[in-house]
Chains A and B, each alone.
Chain A
Amino acid sequence: GESVGLHLPTLSVQEGDNSIINCAYSNSASDYFIWYKQESGKGPQFIIDIRSNMDKRQGQRVTVLLNKTVKHLSLQIAATQPGDSAVYFCAENMRGSYIPTFGRGTSLIVHP
């Protein structure tokens, strides 16, 4: 399953499928990007980050892709599990700033 930017705030997938969550960031001066996962009733939890000198970074079951040309960021989750159900936020950071700007978020619903 795939979401398009922040205009489709809900993504529903079947357990075991791969998920792609997209994010269009706004500031070409941003040089650091983070994906957060927020489960219901909890605070955001760091998933993975990427700096602007990279275009891809992999973690455990997650991959972040960065396309600076079109200012686009995506989070790929392999073999999605029910425990992955949450709201996912991308955040961008301008060089020298300690304050990230958060996107609106995408709600991922994983059906068993």
Chain B
Amino acid sequence: NAGVMQNPRHLVRRRGQEARLRCSPMKGHSHVYWYRQLPEEGLKFMVYLQKENIIDESGMPKERFSAEFPKEGPSILRIQQVVRGDSAAYFCASSRPGTGNYGYTFGSGTRLTVV
């Protein structure tokens, strides 16, 4: 079991470009959660998805950020027109149905740097 796989591990984008972060959940996990971590801060919830559905996006900025979890393939967190303040580590976690964060497993994150 490869665990939660996130790629790329590091991503550098210029201001105004788009960033795409991918997350493949653990085998058997159909729930995905995205978090953002600023330097020396805790993790801030962004969005909770199940296959083809956004369940809770209360932590997502209203503009430029979107997330999807298609029927096939990884979950994608997309940031359009990136700004320096988007520089952070983005983590995804996955869980099995019905376990919620009791069964959270985190990936190793994508570190986004906007230059």
Residues of chain A whose beta carbon lies under 8 Å from any beta carbon of chain B: 9, 32, 34, 41-46, 49, 89, 91, 93, 97-105
User: Within the complex, which residue of B43, B44, B101, B107 is in contact with A98, where a contact is CB–CB below 8 Å?
Assistant: B101
A38 CB → nearest B CB, Å: 9
A89 touches B33 (CB 8 A): no
Contacts of B56 in A (CB 8 A): 99
Closest residue of B by beta carbon distance from A107:
B40
Contact with A along B9-21 (1 / 0, CB 8 A): 0000000000000
Contacts of B107 in A (CB 8 A): 43
User: Within the complex, which residue of B41, B93, B105 is in contact with A104, where a contact is CB–CB below 8 Å?
Assistant: B41
Residues of chain B whose beta carbon lies under 8 Å from any beta carbon of chain A: 4, 6, 31, 33, 35, 40-45, 48, 56, 91, 93, 95, 100-102, 104-109
Interface of B is mostly: strand
B32 CB → nearest A CB, Å: 11
Alpha-carbon separation in the docked complex, A99 to B40 (Å): 21
A59 CB → nearest B CB, Å: 15
B106 touches A43 (CB 8 A): yes
Alpha-carbon separation in the docked complex, A104 to B41 (Å): 5
A100 touches B101 (CB 8 A): yes
